[in-house]
Each structure stands twice: as structure tokens, then as C-alpha cells.
Structure 1
Amino acid sequence: MKCKARVGKHLIALVTALVFLAGASRTADARSYVTDTEIEFYIRELATPVFQTAGLSPSAIDIYFINDDTLNAFVAGGQNIFFHTGLLMATETPEQLLGVIAHETGHIAGGHLARTGEALRNASQNALLGIILGAGAALATGRGDAAGAIFQGTQAAVQDSLLSYSRTQESAADQAAVRYLDANRESSKGMLEFLSTLSGQELLSGRSRSPYASTHPLTQDRISFVEAHVANSRFSDAKLSDDLQIKHRRMVAKLKGFIRSPARTFRDYEESDSSLEARYARAIATYRLPDMNKAVTMVDGLLEEYPKDPYFHELKGQILFEAGKPAEAEGSYRTAHELLPDAPRIQLELARVLLAREGPEASAEAQTHLERVVQEMPSSTFAWRQLAIAYGRNGDHGMSALALAEEAYRSGRERDAALQANRAKQKLQPNTEPWLRATDIEQLSTPRDRERKTR
């Protein structure tokens, strides 16, 4: 991650204009999204059994991370779960995070957002859906400047009351959550621990109060219900696997390393702490000082013990690339991709390094990688832009124009999309699949078609 609008590989911060969806604020507020393959894969692994038990398709649920220190998690715009990084870093165990996931899943499965009133289905819904769609594209871009265009025009504030739940809905979500956990033979103790952490928030007001407490009314009845369940459930002493415990500690360490100041990270993870997560956090903090050479040495130390860890190779690639050493970075990203071939963001960074190296072979390979990336992440405007560069260097100017049309269309720049689509049609073979796609983009981006869609 690079701070603010700077782009990193492990944890990309996209500074965008985002309406503060679930806090006490009623005005538009700037927030940044973060995205990270390791953290996403871990939370997916943790959440998938709960989603399946709730009768939901895991692939249909989108998970987003917002760089915000407050404790908050919420569901918005359908099957979209948002986590504040403050909440993720505050959870001490995967069981606590799983309890939050199970509760939010209860809101989705119960259709609670659909019952928040007619206002959400009218003007506020349009603003909210724009934010959700924009967030999906922004998370995939890998660039703050590309992501910024997604949110142009989405300035209306969404009232926090629209995303607040009633006490009845909260109780229903709690009941669903413990049911899901029991069905998977998992303990509800983590959920109880998190509720206990929040219990003091009910007495606070204003900025001191957690947004989670504002949007998820906490009552003694709720706590008593979960306490009773823990006391009677035969799974209350169950623990998640050691592997998930390690992944959770790594997630917290990585977030702190990238988000907190290096000085604070060094205080939290003292030099005497030789645990994997402490060394991981210190390596990231050292890179952010910045002390690139020492950071590479620290990552190399981790790789000596864990040579097949794709995320350590990925981090090393990021450090080397940002130090102006694309040839060395290529080897690290290539290894990370080989170890984790189904991670499109790692493949995107490998392609980016190849384009930085230039040369016909590198450009041809970059094109191959990027064609797969846009299939996996079609909303990634950054990937489409990189693919346009690769096509251009490989002499395929028709496909380059089509890739630019895709990038513009998905960024909401419809005039540019129509222009590039028209250019692509002049260079592509008529009636082929790319030509037909260019025709679609051109038609979808014209004022006449937009008027037809609004009727």
C-alpha cells in the first residue's frame, strides 16, 4: 500500500469521494477503499461456510474494505458487506470476526435492507447504488486517479437512518447468526466478545461513539440472548483451525503495517517479538519509512523460512518495483503468480511490471496476462488501460481502441467511450465479436440511447 492516493500492491488505497454510508455523519465524507489479495482470500475462507449455510451464493456477495479507524461493518445495496479497517484490526481472534460476518449475513438473508422504507427505493437508492457500483469498479482499478472518475456526480449524502436497523431486525440477525454458527459446529463466543466490546458504546455520543453502535442498536436483551446461547450450545468451546488463527494475526499485522504510522507499528510489534506476524508488520513499516534495502532484507528473511508464501514474494515485488527495479520485481511477481495463479490482482501487477520493462516479448506476455485479468475483473479500469497499452505496443490498434472504450465506459466517461468505440470499429473486422462489442459500447454511450434507457 502507498499512503493516501499512492498505489501499492499489497494494500491499495483509492482516495475517492464516498458518501459516509453508516456513521453518524449526514454529509459526504472522503474515505478510501483498500484491497488486498491475502486479506480478501482469508475473509472469503472464513465467511464462505456461513454464506452457504444461510442459503446464499458466496460468489454473489461482494466484500469491501474501507480505510477508517472506527469499529463498523454494514450491509448496503443488496449483497454487499463493508468492513472498516478499524473493526478488522480491533478483532483479536477469527472467532470474533466470524461473529460479525454471521450477524451481517443474517441481515442479508433476512432481507432487512429491503424493509428500510420507501425513501431508500427512491432518490437515496439511486445515490446508494451509484456508490456501490462505483466502489466495485474503484476496488478493481488499482489507481486513485482512475477510481476518482467513478464517483463524479455521486455527491448526495445518504442519511444514516436508512442504513440503521431496528431492534427487531438486530435480534433476528443475532438469532440467525448463532444458528449459522451452530450449523457449522462453530462457537458463538467470538460474537459475544464483540458485543461486549461494543456494550460501552451505547453510553457514548457524537464522534466518540462507534458507528456500529449507531446503526446496530445494542440492548441488554441482545447480549443476554447470546450469553444464554453460549451457555447452552455444545459448540461453545470449539476453536477455529490454527491456520485461520495465523491468517487472522497476519491480517491485523498487515493492516497495521500499511495503515498505521511506522513508529506506531514498531511500538506495537517490538524488535524482541520474533513471531511471523511481528516480522511481517515490521518489514512493511520499514518499507514505508522508506528504507527499501532494509525492507527487502527483512522480507528475504521471511522467505528463507517460507519460500512458498506468495504474499511475501508479492510484497518483495512491490518494494523492488517502487524502488525502480522492474527486472528484479518481475521475478518476485512471477513467483507469486505461479504460487497463486487464481489471484488476478497479482497477475495484473506482473503484467504492469512487464510493460515497464518494455520489449516485444514482455509486451506479448503482458497482453496474455491482462486478457485474463479483465475476464476476472471486468470492472478494473486500470487493467483495461494497461491492456490498451499492451495491444498498442503489439501493433493491434483496433483492440487497443476497444480496450480504451471499455476503460472509458466503465469509468462513466461515455463521450470518450463512444469516441474510442467508433475508432475501434474503423480498425476491426466487421461483424466479429470485438467489432460487435465496440458497436454495443458506442450505442450504450450515445445520448439517444441513454434517453431511451430512462423512459
Structure 2
Amino acid sequence: MAFNWSSLRRRLTPPNCLKPRRAVSAAVALAFGLSLLPQPFTAFEQRSGQAWAQQRRGVSLVRDAEIEATIRAYASPLLGAAGIGSESVQVYLVNERSLNAFVAGGQRIFVHTGLLQRAERPAQVIGVLAHEIGHIAGGHLARLEDSLGQASAIMIASMLLGAAAAVATGSGEAAMAGVLAGQQVATRNLLSFTRAQEAAADQAGATFLEQTQQSARGLAEFMNILANQEALAVERQDPYVRTHPLSAERVSALNARVAQSRFGDRPDSPENIERFKRMQSKLMGYLDGLPATLRKYPTSDTSLYARYARAFAYFRALDFAKALDEVNSLLAEYPNDQYFHELKGDILLDMGKVPEATEAHRRAYELSPTEALLAYGFARAQIAQDDPAQLPEATRTLQDVTRREPENIGAWQQLAVAYGRSGDIGMASLASAERFLASGELRDAQGQAERAKRLLKEGTPGWLRAQDVIDAATDRRRELRNR
């Protein structure tokens, strides 16, 4: 799910956080147990060009325009209360059913789709965001940065031990056992905060909620859910419990804070409830499959949320006719909903009706021109038409997307296609170089940038940018060798 869940299958853009910076890549990889073995990929990941990143890091990050907008709407007031610019914090969705959220690699918040699906109301999601923002505001990430070297050493040691076990026993299972054990230790060491830091983040989060006239009861409810897991065996606990140590004192202090707040009983706003229900219906339809979706949302249920969920479930099941029926019924009632138009465009694109898909994506983009992922979807549909007349507008749109999201690998890839079809091979090579730089494929980035320099006129902006890419790739390769 180019934040564009309807595009999950065909045009999932690689997430911005998959940048080859040490702090990000190491933290993310360790958080989710970087696999040394090839991972199975779904069709949509392969078609998106992001499979390399998933295999490299063992992380499945997803983007969706609507869900990202929802999380931004929830987080922005809290960031303002914390004195943090909302543009400086990035939130990423992790396609993982477990209940977890964490901060890593600078001002980056990672939220599992499992947490969004299992939350009972918006205040619980908002409370978790407030807590994680508390970690950022408290400077708790500095300790994580210091732990990277130690965690990496544990990972390397586990790999060596696993290899030795394989040689001694002839068993690949023995090797993986050693590796996974090392990963678990590294994950706990890297991403676990102390109880003092957790308590501080609780109180900071509660303060941010109070300053924005919201109740911290949702955060308290979430903590009570986690407290019930402490009696479970470690392997059965959700990751949040293992990386965010709980204590009776923490829960008690948070409950007391809620009781004392004049906003303690403030309910969720209608706007937040609406966003929450749409988000959960979308997640269910796409992630849980058609049978589960129809059990919760039978065809007799004609609510917006039921039709939205079924549209995604039918889409995922490749029943395009029924998916289109559901989304058309939604558009009949809500003709100016950009996300319904976006979904219709994706369905039509999968049906091979490219011109109709382009118009649907154009309408979504027109309704929300500031959303980079909707712009990307429109440009991608234009390029799929293979019509030279569409290329100038698609190129301009993708140039704007890459300015706003310089690490959007899918946008760079499509921009390279647009330049190539227009005959501008030098700029196509430069766009490919940018794509490889963003994805961490440094040797390929350097090679494409050198090709761009040979094809572009010396001293032009493109030529100068190609040299910048060469320098950046060289520096990063040197940094990796020296780690």
C-alpha cells in the first residue's frame, strides 16, 4: 500500500527511510531481524522495483497517501507542542502484524500496521505517537546512536558463529539459529529504552496531549494492553513490550496524570474517528484478504467503510469488476474524494485501461496537488500510456515529486523512463544515478552518474549534479569500508 495503499500491488514506491545512511539502515535492519537468506516477494514488490531493498534489510515498509495523511494529522499538533517542526520528523509504516512503534535513525517514527489495525480508537494511536515524540524531544535517540557499533558487532559475531556451526554440522538450520539468536540480542540492545526514559516519554507525551487539549487516556489504555502481555513468554510478546520496558509505576503514574487532567475525559473528535475508520477498513481490505474482509464487512453492509474495505479486498483478489463496482458506488456519493479516485485509477491500470486510469489519477492529483504520492501516481499512469504527447507533463510532475521526496526511488525510476523516451539519455542516466544513490546501490549510482557526465554538457546543472552523485557515492562507499 507511491503513502498510496491502492498502489501497493503495482506501484508501491520505496520508502524514504531506505536511505544508505548508517544510522537508518543499521537501526531498521536490526529492528526487524535482517535475514541472510533470500526473502519471498509478492508480485507488487517485484513490480515496484523495491524488492532489492526488502531483501537487503528484511524490512517491509509500505506507503499510502491517505494513511500518511492521517498519521500526519494526528502527529502535527503534538510536534508543535513539543517545539519540533512537523517537516523535520518522518513517519514510516512497517508492514508487520505485530504491535509495535519506535523511533530510530534520527527524527523518524516507525509504526507497524499491526498497531494501527489492533488499536481500538484514534486516541490510542495518537497516544503512542505522543509517547514516541516524547523520546525525540527528550533526546533519547543519542543512546541508540552510541549502541549501533555494539549491535553491529553482535550481528557480525552471530553470523560468524552461524557459519562455523554450518561447517561443523553441515546444517543450514544451525547457521540460521545462531544468526537469529544474535539478531534478537542486537535488537534488544539497540532499540530498548530504559524504564526511566520510558517514564519520561510517557509524561512528555501526556504533556503534549494536554497542551493540544487531548486526553492521554488512549495512551494509558495502550499501556494497560501491554501490561497484560508481560506474563506471556518472551517469544509471544509483541515487540513493543520487549523494546519499551514497562513497570507498574509507569502505568500508575500515567493513570494518575489522566485523572488529574481537565481533558482526561475528552472523547475522540469526529474527524479523527473518520480518519481512523477509513484507515482500518483500508488496511483490512488489503492485508487481511477477501474472506476475512467479507466476514467483517458482508455485502449487506453498505457503509462507506465496508465498501472501501471490500473494494481493496476484491482488488487484491484480482476481481477487478467487483472492486470497480464498489469504488464507483463510493464516487457516486463522494465525487471529490481524492483517495477514491486514486483507487479507481489503480484498478483501471491493472485492468489495462490505461487512458481511463490516467484520468482517474489526474482527478486525484487535482483534488490534492500537494500530495507527492498522488502526483507520482498520475505521472506513472501517463508514462504507462506510452504516448509521447504525455511525456512533458509527466516529466514536470516527476521533477516536482523528486524535489519534494528526493529519496522516492519509484519516482526517480519513472523519471528516467520519461527522459529516455524523450531521447534525453544524459538526464535519464542522471535520474537512474539518483535512484541508485537513494537505494544504496552505490556502485551503480557512480556508474550511471559518470555516464551522465559524459553525455551532458560540462558545467550545466545536470552535469554538476552528476558530479555531486559521484562524490556522494564515493564518500558513502568509503564510509562503509571504514565501519
Q: Give TM-score scaled by structure 2 length.
A: 0.81
CA 1:198 to 1:415, structure 2 compared with 1: closer, same or farther past 3 Å? closer
1:30 aligns with 2:58: yes
Could you tell me how far 1:9 is from its partner in structure 2?
6.1
1:400-429 deviation digits (Å, cap 9, x = unpaired): 222122222323333333332232223322
Give the structure 2 partner of residue 357 of structure 1: 385
1:263 counterpart SS class: helix
1:190 aligns with 2:218: yes
CA 1:125 to 1:259, structure 2 compared with 1: closer, same or farther past 3 Å? farther
1:328 aligns with 2:356: yes
Cα distance in 2 for residues equivalent to 1:392 and 1:26: 35
Could you tell me how far 1:271 is from its partner in structure 2?
2.6
Cα distance in 2 for residues equivalent to 1:430 and 1:30: 40
Give the structure 1 partner of residue 152 of structure 2: 124
Give the structure 2 partner of residue 99 of structure 1: 127
1:265-317 deviation digits (Å, cap 9, x = unpaired): 11122233332112110111111222101110110000011100000000010
Cα distance in 1 for residues equivalent to 2:426 and 2:141: 44
CA contact (8 A) 1:187 1:230 kept: yes
CA contact (8 A) 2:34 2:59 kept: no
1:39-58 matches, within 5 Å, as 39-58=67-86
Cα distance in 2 for residues equivalent to 1:253 and 1:205: 31
CA 1:217 to 1:246, structure 2 compared with 1: closer, same or farther past 3 Å? same
Give the structure 2 partner of residue 277 of structure 1: 305
2:263 counterpart SS class: coil
Give the structure 1 partner of residue 22 of structure 2: none
Count of paired positions: 422
Range 324-333 or range 203-212, more displaced: 203-212
1:178 aligns with 2:206: yes
Range 89-98 or range 112-121, more displaced: 112-121
Cα distance in 2 for residues equivalent to 1:26 and 1:302: 41
Q: Which amino acid aligns with 2:329?
A: G
CA 1:354 to 1:452, structure 2 compared with 1: closer, same or farther past 3 Å? closer
Within the candidate set 412, 432, 444, 2:460 is matched to: 432
1:351 counterpart SS class: helix
Range 438-447 or range 308-317, more displaced: 438-447
Cα distance in 1 for residues equivalent to 2:280 and 2:345: 21
1:417-447 deviation digits (Å, cap 9, x = unpaired): 3332232223322211111111222344458
Within the candidate set 391, 395, 410, 2:438 is matched to: 410
CA contact (8 A) 1:22 1:211 kept: no
Give the structure 1 partner of residue 177 of structure 2: none
CA 1:11 to 1:192, structure 2 compared with 1: closer, same or farther past 3 Å? farther
CA contact (8 A) 2:14 2:410 kept: no
Give the structure 1 partner of residue 318 of structure 2: 290
Cα distance in 2 for residues equivalent to 1:70 and 1:123: 22
Within the candidate set 365, 379, 387, 1:337 is matched to: 365
Cα distance in 2 for residues equivalent to 1:393 and 1:116: 45
1:355-378 deviation digits (Å, cap 9, x = unpaired): 111122111221111111111111
1:194 counterpart SS class: helix
1:179-258 matches, within 5 Å, as 179-258=207-286
Could you tell me how far 1:221 is from its partner in structure 2?
1.4
Cα distance in 2 for residues equivalent to 1:216 and 1:452: 30
Q: Which runs of 5+ in 2 are unaligned?
A: 19-24, 37-56, 156-181
1:65 counterpart SS class: strand
Could you tell me how far 1:38 is from its partner in structure 2?
0.2
Within the candidate set 320, 331, 334, 1:303 is matched to: 331
Could you tell me how far 1:224 is from its partner in structure 2?
1.3
Could you tell me how far 1:203 is from its partner in structure 2?
0.4
Cα distance in 1 for residues equivalent to 2:275 and 2:301: 17
Cα distance in 2 for residues equivalent to 1:403 and 1:327: 26
1:74 counterpart SS class: strand
2:9 counterpart SS class: coil
Q: Which structure is higher in helix share?
A: 2
Q: Which amino acid aligns with 1:439?
A: Q
Q: Which amino acid aligns with 1:189?
A: R
Cα distance in 2 for residues equivalent to 1:448 and 1:339: 40
Could you tell me how far 1:341 is from its partner in structure 2?
0.4
Cα distance in 2 for residues equivalent to 1:52 and 1:126: 38
1:397 aligns with 2:398: no
Could you tell me how far 1:387 is from its partner in structure 2?
0.9
